Structure 1
Amino acid sequence: MKQELKGIFFDIDDTLYSTTIFAEKARRSAIQAMIELGLKGAPEALYQELIEVTQEFEPNYGFHFNKLLDRLPKEASSHCNPAILVAGAVISYHDRKFRELALFPDAPPFLEKLSQTNLIRGIITSGLAIKQSEKILRLGLLKYLSGQEAIIISDQVGINKPNPKLFQKALDRFGLAPSETAYVGDNPKKDILPCQQLGIRTIWMDRGGKHSILEPSIKPDYRVESFLEVEEILKKWGVNLP
């Protein structure tokens, strides 16, 4: 007989909200702002160049727009102050982010129900502490969690996904056994596999994003496309949701 579920943890990006769609909109807004400030080039070509920059220098690198200018022909930004172009891009990016950052529509009602249970509810996420914390606050996630101690950010503990030790931190912090714990994430290699290695129950949130290919060695307990399906799984596991 399966042990009682006592805790459930979530990834943030592309699990609770669409990082992919949000990032594209924000980056395109930034490119348009740079063009309006004098940068020369076709919007789509500049956007694709920016995507290459983010792939080569990682998403959390702080100088994507500077690197974009560095790799463009000099005539693209002649008669422009590079600092003004970068500042315009940053302002536009963040304005779009603050305006449109939102949970998937099916997440709030599910999280509200979950918050009325006795389950330990937390976040295990990769990224810079300040960026991930900002997302937690702007998305309104804090009220659904079992306190701030239920937030585990890779940058704060010196361990990153897919190292299983990151997930073990959550188990140790709350005295949970792997079989008493579930994790919901979108990335098979970084979310599902390390939990699988520890024996944590896994729910793969597959909304058709960039991590929709599953390798044969990775075997989530469930694959879902919405939190309505997660709700049904929890009921199967004996969780009484209101």
Structure 2
Amino acid sequence: MIKAVVFDVDDTLYDQKAPFEAALAPILGLPSEVDLNTTFQAYRQQSHQAYAHVINGHWSEQEMAVKRLNTALLAQHLPAVDAQSALNFEEAYTAGLADIKLFPGLSTALDSLSQQYQLGILTNGNTQFQLAKVMQLQMHRWIDREAIVTSEEVGLAKPDPQIFTLMNRRLNLRASEVAYVGDCYSMDVRASKQAGWQSFWFNHRDLEEPDGQWVPDQTVTDPLELQDLLLALTTIPEA
């Protein structure tokens, strides 16, 4: 039986694509209305891989900023940018993240969930940056600091199942008693299932399952569906 619901942060609690596009379009000399969805997805994939290099001490934060952007651009057959342009993008993107808001419906769902379940956050990334997003989203209304785990803080990163096991200990629960909500199949669905958790896939970018080996327990495709799923959990009688 589920006793806790744990959330990813980026593109799960808020729309990460909007500040990304707003920051990148001027750097590339593109009009703001150009759809950079494929570049955004490539960037996110590079971010997942880049965090491991930072945690292992292979890259500095600045090296990561430059390499992950240019790798994403080249993967989409777009020209690479110089280091200063990449850092300018990073600065503009970070500034945009200061104005993020929860997806519609999440606040209502969290109000109800917090009355019945432990809530937590498990996210890859720099602790300072991720906590700043958590505060901007006002997640502290529902989640204590002890229930927030970042990859930098613990020296582990998704998709390593060990970071989920560490979260079990933070919550003092068995793996089968925790559900994870995330937007990325490989980092969130597959990794949490491998750790023995239930997995709710917030697939609002209409992505395909890369292998289909690990099937999410629930899949929703827009914020209102996610709200309905979370609210449905509150109608389950407590044991």
The TM-score, its normalising length taken from structure 1, stands at: 0.72
- Deviations 1:55-75 (CA, angstroms, capped at 9, x unpaired): 49948842546997xx669xx
123, 133, 136: which one pairs with 2:134? Answer: 136
1:6-45 aligned within 5 A: 6-29=3-26, 31=27, 43-44=29-30
Contact 1:186 1:205 in 2 (8 A): yes
How far did residue 104 of structure 1 move? 0.8
Aligned position for 2:214: 218
The number of residue pairs the alignment matches comes to 209
User: What TM-score, normalized to structure 2?
Assistant: 0.72
Q: Which runs of 5+ in 1 are unaligned?
A: 32-41, 74-81
- Within-5 A mapping of 1:1-242: 3=1, 5-29=2-26, 31=27, 43-44=29-30, 55=46, 58=50, 61-62=61-62, 64=65, 92-98=92-98, 100-115=99-114, 117-145=115-143, 147-208=144-205, 211-225=207-221, 226=223, 227-235=226-234, 237-238=236-237
Runs of 4+ with deviation above 6 angstroms: 65-68, 85-88
State the secondary structure of the residue aligned to 1:44: coil
**1:43-101, CA deviations, whole angstroms, 9 ceiling, x for partnerless residues?**
139x98xx699649948842546997xx669xxxxxxxx97x78865664444333x31
Counterpart amino acid of residue 213 in structure 1: E
Whole-angstrom distance in 2 between the partners of 1:239 and 1:27: 47
SS of the aligned residue for 2:62 comes to coil
1-structure distance, mates of 2:173, 2:81: 52
The answer as to whether partners of 1:65 and 1:89 remain within 8 angstroms in 2 is: no
Instruction: Choose 1 or 2 for highest CA Rg.
Output: 1
Name the SS for the 1:62 alignment partner: helix
RMSD: 3.5
Matches of 2:90 and 2:218, distance apart in 1: 39
More divergent stretch after superposition (224-233 vs 120-129): 224-233
Residue 231 of structure 1 aligns with an amino acid whose one-letter code is: L
Which consecutive residues of structure 2, in runs of 5 or more, have no partner in the other structure?
Answer: 55-60, 71-79
